[in-house]
Structure 1
Amino acid sequence: MRRADCVAKLAGLCLVAGLLLAGLALPVVGAAGLVSNRVGDRVAMTSVQLIDTPPPLMSTITDKDGQPFAYLYDQYRVLTPPGEVAQVMKDALLSTEDRRFYEHNGVDWLATIRAAMRNQSDGSVSQGASTITQQYVKNHLVHVLERDDKGGQVKAQEQTISRKLREARIAMHVESQLTKDEILTRYLDVVPFGGTIFGIAAASQAYFDTTPKALTVPQAAMLAGMVNSPTFLDPEARPDKATERRNMVIDLMAANNKLSPEQAEAAKRAPLGLATPVRPLPTGCVGAGPETGFFCSYVVNYLTANGFDLDDLKAGGYRIETTLDRTLTQHAKRAAEAQVPKTTPGIANTAAVVKPGRERHEVVALVASRDYGLKKEEFQTQFDLPSAVENKFGAGSVYKVFTAAAALEKGIGIESMIATPNSYVSRVFRGGAASCPSTGEQATYWYCLSNHDDSYAPQMTLKQALATSPNTGFVILEEKVGLDAVVDMASRLGMRETMATNIAGVAPDQSADRKDLQVSQADFYKSAGNASFTLGPAPTSTLELANVAATIASSGTWCRPTPIRKVVDRHGAEVAVREPPCEQVVEEGLANALVVGLSEDDQDRGTAAAAAKQYDWKRPALGKTGTTEEYKSAAFIGATLDYAGAVQVFNDGITPRGICVNSGPPRLCAEGDIYGGTLPARTWFEFMTKAHENLPEKPLPPVEPRYRLP
């Protein structure tokens, strides 16, 4: 080495030693109080932020019985009280990282000087001698305070003397504010153990399927060794390196009199004993699994729509107690797949179940024949099939419920006779889905339609019409009560998000070329005077259909369908969830009459009679089937006073066609022969029969005379 290089190197060593010795003198001269007074404002502020800012915690989503089924996090972490960490874990960590932890004031100056001189002699600043307190400071800066700032993370880890000195000063200030045990506990909660695993509790579960308190010597030694380099010492990817490092930690524990030589040798002979496979708890709604993933997604969407921030949900450590009924969900999932296998190309079967009530409408199940997940090749999806407006082809004649409700409000009773001719030309509604030209006005089209077949009587009661579903009778009713009243009734009874979308089932787009895409469904049908509304051709949410049934069964009380029972923060305090109050949207007498008016769909000539008979359904219930004109979707809604539910079977592929269900499994076909009384009704009766097995039968409500025959 040249003489000039030697002189420069020696000068550098003297400078480093002088700086560090100056730091060494601080605790001797003035103790903790003087140290605090000499800490700069920026360092003091950082120290306060570090102490006062809790680390990110995962949020847990539970079912109605308090059992977790999903977790939300970016950093998988669970805080662990000091008394819940095994002593061998503390011994392993301190023997490896900071054996003089209980003797220094945050910085081990002698070790730091030795490391600095080694670094200076080899031209680097990579070797540390950092204490547990200093490591706590760095890890908290990187993974908590600066976790969303890449630049801040780089600065908190840069290998410079100025950063080391700043870190040391913050560590000394932290030591003046917290006890040693508090620092050790915080360190064990914040330090990374590879991937998304942070803290000793998460590491214990992920690597050994155990708790921090139950860690053995070999397990504790492996985890203590990992903090040095979690990626390089990943025991799953590099078991040889992890074992070598573990055994070194065990030797250090023996050298520090934490283990006897015999105990150390026995511990080193033990296998790694990793959990199989090594994984953290699954995160997000994909992690909730194929059965409950749709419900999880609705929970997250519901909370973010009600004021919660998604990033906060992933870091806030909330316990989100939901209304999910796992047993009913399993019944509904099996029923949906029994009617439409999950691998069926282009066809999805969806179901939603809501509990009626005058104070809350709790969502208890959201399922689809598809699994919730990322594997498209296995027909998985992350589209919210059962809760969002995903049936783009409509619920069909289910929408006749809204026409019937509007007619009741206008003074027509469920026993009133209505006209139901086999064919009909409406001269009231124009400009909509025209099907035949007029004879007297140029470029004007009437609305022409017919019933499914010619078996209908020319007139029947409204109650009979709801059970047998003649198209002409409900278009005639629409003329009498007014289309605006029918559309408004749909929103009032529960189709609020559905009616707010456009006829493509998405938010209205003012920039769209087509005017019908610029407005909501409600505005489109009103302005166009489109009589087809009562035949349900527009995009529809399965969950909102279920909530319509719940509103009717709840004596006309609408409540927003909620998946939430309670949200508790990391401190155990309940967090308010902003939910709109329930509304009495129609008179109780009208709702009761509608329940009775819809009570014969499962009987005699009712469109769901065959499905009800197949599952031996005899319980009083309201029900209504629906099928769209081109057989691309079909639906069924029904309710008892205990549960309300809806099922929709619809095209979910990129080449929609009719759905065939006869002479083989469900499939896309040229013509289509699906009806609401087939797959949808069968699905509903299958899971609802099981849901009601242990429930007493509840009778239909009485009907006031004015709603029977005015």
Structure 2
Amino acid sequence: MRFVGMSVVAGVLVTAGMAPVVALAGVSATHTITVLDSLPGYLGIEQLSQKSNIYATQDDGTPVLLASFYDQNRVEVESDAISQFVKDAAVSGEDPRFFEHNGIDIQGTLRAVVSNTFSDSLRGGSSITQQYVKNVLVQKCEVIAEQEQSDLCYTAATEITAERKLREMRFAIAVEKKYDKADILRQYLNITGFGGTVYGIEAAANHYFNTTAAAVTLPQAASLVAIVNNPRKFQLDIPDSVTNGAANDYAANKMRRDYILGEMLAEEKISAAQYEAAVATVIAPVITAPSTGCATAGANAYFCDYVVHALQTDPTFGEDEETRLLNFRRGGYDVYTTLDLDLQGAAVTTMNENVPKISDAGDVGAVISSVQVGTGRVLAMTQNKDYSQDPAVLNSGTNYSAINYNTDRAAGGSSGFRPGSTYKVFTLAEWLSEGHSLNERVDSERTSHWGAFQDSCRGTQRYPGWNPRNDSLNQNRSNYSALESTINSYNTGYLGMAKELDLCGIRKTAEAFDVHRADGNPLRQGASSVLGTNEIAPLTMAVAFAGIANDGVTCSPVVVDRIVAADGTELPVPESECSASVEPVVSGAMAYAMQRVMSEGTARSSYYRTSPRVPMIGKTGTTGGAADTWMSGASTEVATVAGVVSVTGSLDQRSMYFDSGYAATARHRMWPDVMSVANAKYGGDDFADGSPSALRTRRTSN
């Protein structure tokens, strides 16, 4: 059967010498192969699967690569970006009659027919155009999501049969009818594999020699083209393999390289002097492994991870998350993010200086998130763990984590943390929205329990036996004002305020600032929630504080400024959605009280460590037993949240020490470091209505 099949191919080739299309049409009845009038769309010279990149941008506009993503490490380049050495090496070594034939090298294939008629495999004789066709057919199989269908497709594209050879020949003739030789050669060099996940001449030049396709030397070009003939045998990053020789001499590649150089000399593409110098050149690869995935982003990995999650929800890339990520990995996109490298650098540095990755006291976590006021652009994001998604790496030490503590479960795997008293700002917002004054005093002392709380959503609520107190026993008076309770974070004062409000209204006000539970469940609205018992993502709290600083207008977080496709066109990016959370007169009164928190209240340590100082608002938070400690605040330009948390269990930070000092005060060392850079870079203005005249707000009609 092999003899008959190859005899048919031989007959076709004899006829093809006169009329290739007629020849293939003549055998179509026997082999159920038809000649199409037009080239199948998937064989057209189109964009190939390429790696996508995520960048930060320096102040001068210079992009800084954070990470790349790819199924195939490829950078498609135009013909003028490929050295003539590469083109000549490819033609001389793979298809010397490339510029003469019509897609089928008749002489070469006839020799292959003779040598393969009685052998165990079908090999050799394929023109560059046929190799291009085969690569396209294989690529077509690799993008099929269903594995069984993909395997069947791959078998059909690579099986050793005369029918497959004839199909390639037919397609090769059709390709040559539609495209000129230069285009076919360019795309062949872009599509072909160079070993492992390295595809295309540009990625190969970078991977093996740390250069570009345009800048490779003659011996480098010949070594790269040598790999194409048999990537496993001739690739250059396995110097001590059985096939490639020992002692780093790359013997197998050198033999094929020198053969190609000899063919280039015979074809008069190079001079004798060039040939002698090239074959005398020692093969010295400079293996440059490309970055792939967010783990390569180092200290910026958790921000990178959040960007990837954002892209997975972007309909620009497809109908569902799986399709979007696949399209992103193959589409050759350049994504320019919102990350501010100056703020991020300050956040990473202060995190490393103040919170260890591992603590003998327990599972300690720490976070910093910064957001630009008025735009929602995420400027910084870091935590005290090394990032990895590799199970083996994660099991190697507790310094690694795949979970982004800064974000929601849906965008990083975290269930959030209790923000403690930082959550009180939403009760303050509701208090002022309902027309109460900062100077208004409330009944803030209970000896047994707090009685009934009004809840328009669930009806009156009572909590028998529940009697929270203030942090210090000498801070339990009966008539704190709202301003005093805010400055000093009195629990009893805020519960007294809540008794005059609607618990459901407080929840709705928090939601108006885009506050939500990190696990996706509805916010709890019981009386204890006033003191910050909902698990919230730190980034969510940064967004809310930015909303307060933005005259009560909250803008949802965004991490992408620009997306540029492989063809240079710009794609639409997810935009921040801004909405009024409270009226400006309310946010102005909030800002007045929260500035007092900074200058004379619980956030004094952060305020006086910040330099330069601009007008700033803030609020601290400490959960029960000092398990979690927070510092949240903002200027009119940047909002930052810094916290140290108990990832598992419940730590007492007041009895814990780090090298930098008390664990409970690490927040007051980290937050100023970040905001000092933010203030120096972005400045800050006075807050609206931030004066004593705004102590009273108008009463709203119900």
Query: What TM-score results when the alignment is normalised by the length of structure 2?
Result: 0.86
Matched, 1:635 2:644: no
For residues 485-531 of structure 1, the C-alpha deviation after alignment (integer angstroms, 9 at most, x for no partner) is 111111111213x2xxxxxx534xxxxxxxxxxxx232xx24xxx21
Matches within 5 A, 1:499-578: 505-507=518-520, 520-522=521-523, 525-526=524-525, 530-578=526-574
Matches within 5 A, 1:597-608: 597-604=593-600, 606-608=601-603
Quote how far apart the aligned CAs of 1:404 are.
Answer: 0.5
Instruction: Sort the Cα spacing of 1:645 and 1:484 in 2 relative to 1 into closer, same or farther, 3 A.
Output: same
For residues 403-454 of structure 1, the C-alpha deviation after alignment (integer angstroms, 9 at most, x for no partner) is 11111111112233334337662211599xxxxx99xxxxx72432111112
Matches within 5 A, 1:275-424: 275=286, 278-289=287-298, 291-307=299-315, 308=317, 309-344=324-359, 346-357=363-374, 360-373=375-388, 374=390, 375-376=393-394, 377-378=396-397, 379-389=399-409, 390=414, 392-421=416-445
Q: Aligned to 1:351, what secondary structure does the other structure show?
A: strand
CA distance in 2, matches of 1:181, 1:10: 36
CA distance in 2, matches of 1:361, 1:430: 34
Matched, 1:77 2:74: yes
Amino acid at match of 1:267: A
CA distance in 2, matches of 1:599, 1:71: 43
CA distance in 2, matches of 1:266, 1:423: 95
Gaps of 5+ in 2: 145-149, 240-249, 318-323, 456-460
CA distance in 2, matches of 1:492, 1:247: 71
Instruction: Sort the Cα spacing of 1:641 and 1:99 in 2 relative to 1 into closer, same or farther, 3 A.
Output: same
Per mean C-alpha deviation after superposition, the further-off stretch among 191-200 and 420-429 is: 420-429
Corresponding residue number in structure 2 for 1:101: 98
Instruction: Sort the Cα spacing of 1:549 and 1:364 in 2 relative to 1 into closer, same or farther, 3 A.
Output: same
Corresponding residue number in structure 1 for 2:202: 201
Corresponding residue number in structure 1 for 2:675: 688
Quote how far apart the aligned CAs of 1:537 are.
Answer: 1.9
CA distance in 2, matches of 1:674, 1:563: 30
Q: Aligned to 2:124, what secondary structure does the other structure show?
A: coil
Corresponding residue number in structure 2 for 1:183: 184
CA distance in 1, matches of 2:272, 2:32: 44
Matched, 1:226 2:227: yes
Is this contact kept in 1: 2:334–2:564, CA < 8 A? Answer: yes
Quote how far apart the aligned CAs of 1:39 are.
Answer: 11
Quote how far apart the aligned CAs of 1:662 are.
Answer: 4.9
Corresponding residue number in structure 2 for 1:516: none
For residues 235-290 of structure 1, the C-alpha deviation after alignment (integer angstroms, 9 at most, x for no partner) is 12033322232222222222222222332221122222211xx244211211222x
Q: Aligned to 1:227, what secondary structure does the other structure show?
A: helix
Corresponding residue number in structure 2 for 1:517: none
Per mean C-alpha deviation after superposition, the further-off stretch among 95-104 and 699-708 is: 699-708
Q: In the comparison of the two structures, how many residue pairs are matched?
A: 650
Quote how far apart the aligned CAs of 1:707 are.
Answer: 5.1
Is this contact kept in 2: 1:424–1:450, CA < 8 A? Answer: no
CA distance in 2, matches of 1:652, 1:473: 30
Is this contact kept in 2: 1:612–1:682, CA < 8 A? Answer: no
Per mean C-alpha deviation after superposition, the further-off stretch among 74-83 and 412-421 is: 412-421
Corresponding residue number in structure 2 for 1:5: none
Per mean C-alpha deviation after superposition, the further-off stretch among 17-26 and 166-175 is: 17-26
For residues 651-692 of structure 1, the C-alpha deviation after alignment (integer angstroms, 9 at most, x for no partner) is 224xx131435563289xxxxx864xx222321112211232
Is this contact kept in 1: 2:42–2:140, CA < 8 A? Answer: no
CA distance in 1, matches of 2:659, 2:328: 40
Matches within 5 A, 1:6-45: 14-27=7-20
Quote how far apart the aligned CAs of 1:371 are.
Answer: 2.2
Is this contact kept in 2: 1:590–1:707, CA < 8 A? Answer: no
Corresponding residue number in structure 2 for 1:502: none
CA distance in 1, matches of 2:235, 2:187: 23
CA distance in 2, matches of 1:103, 1:559: 63
Q: Aligned to 2:68, what secondary structure does the other structure show?
A: strand
Is this contact kept in 2: 1:371–1:381, CA < 8 A? Answer: yes
For residues 555-592 of structure 1, the C-alpha deviation after alignment (integer angstroms, 9 at most, x for no partner) is 11111110111222222222223446321121111112
Amino acid at match of 1:166: R
Amino acid at match of 1:702: D
Instruction: Sort the Cα spacing of 1:10 and 1:159 in 2 relative to 1 into closer, same or farther, 3 A.
Output: closer
Q: 1:267 aligns with which of 270, 273, 278?
A: 278
Is this contact kept in 1: 2:614–2:679, CA < 8 A? Answer: no
CA distance in 1, matches of 2:552, 2:100: 71
CA distance in 1, matches of 2:427, 2:108: 83
CA distance in 1, matches of 2:499, 2:38: 71
Q: Aligned to 1:567, what secondary structure does the other structure show?
A: strand
Corresponding residue number in structure 1 for 2:688: 701
CA distance in 2, matches of 1:611, 1:159: 72
CA distance in 1, matches of 2:659, 2:629: 13
Quote how far apart the aligned CAs of 1:144 are.
Answer: 4.2
Is this contact kept in 2: 1:63–1:322, CA < 8 A? Answer: yes
Quote how far apart the aligned CAs of 1:119 are.
Answer: 0.5
Per mean C-alpha deviation after superposition, the further-off stretch among 307-316 and 142-151 is: 142-151
Is this contact kept in 1: 2:51–2:74, CA < 8 A? Answer: yes
For residues 79-103 of structure 1, the C-alpha deviation after alignment (integer angstroms, 9 at most, x for no partner) is 1111111111111111110011100
Quote how far apart the aligned CAs of 1:30 are.
Answer: 9.7
Instruction: Sort the Cα spacing of 1:313 and 1:674 in 2 relative to 1 into closer, same or farther, 3 A.
Output: same
The alignment yields a C-alpha RMSD, in angstroms, of 2.9
CA distance in 2, matches of 1:665, 1:404: 34
Instruction: Sort the Cα spacing of 1:13 and 1:107 in 2 relative to 1 into closer, same or farther, 3 A.
Output: closer
Instruction: Sort the Cα spacing of 1:306 and 1:697 in 2 relative to 1 into closer, same or farther, 3 A.
Output: closer
Instruction: Sort the Cα spacing of 1:392 and 1:565 in 2 relative to 1 into closer, same or farther, 3 A.
Output: closer
Corresponding residue number in structure 1 for 2:506: 486
Instruction: Sort the Cα spacing of 1:93 and 1:423 in 2 relative to 1 into closer, same or farther, 3 A.
Output: farther
Q: Aligned to 2:486, what secondary structure does the other structure show?
A: helix
CA distance in 1, matches of 2:478, 2:611: 32
Instruction: Sort the Cα spacing of 1:28 and 1:534 in 2 relative to 1 into closer, same or farther, 3 A.
Output: closer
CA distance in 2, matches of 1:9, 1:578: 58
CA distance in 2, matches of 1:474, 1:11: 92
Is this contact kept in 1: 2:33–2:167, CA < 8 A? Answer: no
For residues 93-139 of structure 1, the C-alpha deviation after alignment (integer angstroms, 9 at most, x for no partner) is 111100111000001122112201210033x3422210110000111
Instruction: Sort the Cα spacing of 1:693 and 1:135 in 2 relative to 1 into closer, same or farther, 3 A.
Output: same
CA distance in 1, matches of 2:546, 2:354: 24
Is this contact kept in 2: 1:47–1:174, CA < 8 A? Answer: no
Gaps of 5+ in 1: 1-7, 432-436, 439-443, 499-504, 508-519, 668-672
Corresponding residue number in structure 2 for 1:450: 469
Instruction: Sort the Cα spacing of 1:624 and 1:141 in 2 relative to 1 into closer, same or farther, 3 A.
Output: same
